[in-house]
Amino acid sequence: MDQKKTGQFLRSLRNEKQMTQEQLAEHFNVTSRSVSRWENGNNLPDISLLVEIADFYEVDVREIIDGERKNEMMDKEAREVAEHMAVYAGTEKNRLLKFIQVIAIIGLIASITAIIFQTIGYDESVRSSVSLTASIITLILMSVITLYVTGILEKAAHNKGFMKTVKITSIVLLATGVLYMVKIILTFWLAIFLMVVPGLFERVKVDTDITKYNEYIHPIRTEKEIEDHGYGITNSEMFDIWPKTITADMNVTEFQYTYYNPWDAMYVIYMTSEYDPDAYIDEYDRLSSLGIQDYVGMYTVTGEPEGYDIISMSCDGYHGFTYAMIPEDSSDNDTITYVSIWFCNYYLELDIHKYLPDEYLLPGFDATDDNPYELEQRALYE
């Protein structure tokens, strides 16, 4: 079978009728594009239309298939067979079309329902925005498919005003969707940029000026001020171990405050102070009343620093340790050393040995990236 030959034959038959493709398409209730594809040999009419086309052009069905006129006409029996085949094909086509129409309508209803629920629970996050945008695009596609399979789109296609409105509306919706997606993507990456890039240029702040003690420890500041200035520890219970302020009966012999904030605040602080006898007793009692939390095993710590007794310990498996200690076996002692190692996400991005004397460090302490304690804790949540 030569489709090109059949197409040329159909064109010649139409020309004999002196009809345009649009007129013929309207007669057979198809699109002019379909007629054009028949006549170009790119496609063939449905079998359900062959008998109608043959009757319209007053030719034999076999002549259309062969693409040329025959001398003999189709006999009655052959025509009846062709007509029965056309009816059968039309019935099967209608049955399949109805099934597709039902599926399309169900899909359209599901898309509308999804958009309603997503709109109700919308929280302006990137995930919610992308999901809602995808649902809207799905709704548009399902609407087009539903209009097509129900025949509404084909009928509306002959209305130039309607089609123009549809095109303009589609362009506006598409442009709006694209701009919205661009906004979401830019907002997301801007947030990443503002979060990550400052950390790349953050420098470690080290200060040994004890006159700034209350600027760093127990500062009287709002959270916003602390965030803006980039230093100072919030009034956490972990820092209750530290004295509220430096008093006249204290002689601070060493103090170092180290602060680093690549994207989460980290502190390594230590201070040693000599006390007047009465002040020492008061401070010792205060620290003892705070107690010693169980810290052994946390970040692979094995016990107290060698040569020291811990008299107060506040620890947190997520953030670290704050503790106070005195020299071991010293009956006439008047010295107390305070230490804080504070970080976030199970990981200290500072070389602890560089910013804290090893004699004050808890033995076995390991808060490097992927340390054993971190891996153990994360495994509990997987």
Quote the pLDDT of residue 252: 97
Task: Assign domain 1-74 one CATH number from 1.10.3720.10, 1.10.10.10, 1.10.260.40, 3.60.15.10.
Answer: 1.10.260.40
If one compares 236 and 178, the residue with the highest pLDDT of the two is 178
192-207 pLDDT, tens digit per residue, is: 666 555 545 558 999 9
Separation between Cα atoms, residue 147 and residue 151, nearest integer Å: 6
Answer yes or no: are the C-beta atoms of 7 and 41 closer than 8 Å. yes
**Cα radius of gyration rounded to whole Å, the chain:** 42
Beta partners for residue 258, in sequence order: 206, 268
| Three-state DSSP string of the chain | CCHHHHHHHHHHHHHHHCCCHHHHHHHCCCCHHHHHHHHHCCCCCCHHHHHHHHHHHCCCHHHHHHCCCCCCCCCHHHHHHHHHHHHHHHHHHHHHHHHHHHHHHHHHHHHHHHHHHHHHCCCCCHHHHHHHHHHHHHHHHHHHHHHHHCCHHHHHCCCHHHHHHHHHHHHHHHHHHHHHHHHHHHHHHHHHHHHHHHHHCCCCEEECCHHHHHHHCCCCCCHHHHHHHCCCCCCCHHHCCCCCCCCCCEEEEEEEEEEECCCCCEEEEEEEEEECHHHHHHHHHHHHHHCECCCCCHHHCCCCCCCEEEEEEEEECCCEEEEEEEECCCCCCCEEEEEEEECECCECCCCHHHHCCHHHCCCCCCCCCCCHHHHHHHHHCC
Average pLDDT of the segment spanning 47-69: 82
User: Residue ranges per domain, the chain?
Assistant: 1-74, 98-201, 205-380
Separation between Cα atoms, residue 140 and residue 173, nearest integer Å: 9
If one compares 268 and 39, the residue with the highest pLDDT of the two is 268
Separation between Cα atoms, residue 241 and residue 343, nearest integer Å: 17
Average pLDDT of the segment spanning 52-71: 81
Chain mean pLDDT for the chain: 81
Quote the pLDDT of residue 235: 45
Q: What's the half-sphere exposure (Cβ side, CA atoms, 13 Å) at 247?
A: 12
110-148 pLDDT, tens digit per residue, is: 888 887 877 776 666 666 777 777 777 777 777 777 777
Q: Considering only CA atoms, which of 241, 360, 333 is closest in space to residue 279?
A: 333
What pTM was estimated for this model as a whole? 0.50
Quote the pLDDT of residue 153: 60
Quote the pLDDT of residue 297: 95
For 344-348, the CB contacts below 8 A with 24+ separation are 344/264, 344/265, 344/266, 344/318, 344/319, 345/264, 345/318, 346/317, 346/318, 346/371, 346/373, 346/374, 346/377, 346/378, 347/371, 347/374, 348/266, 348/268, 348/320
The position carrying tokens 């007129």 is: 23
% of residues, the chain, pLDDT over 70: 75
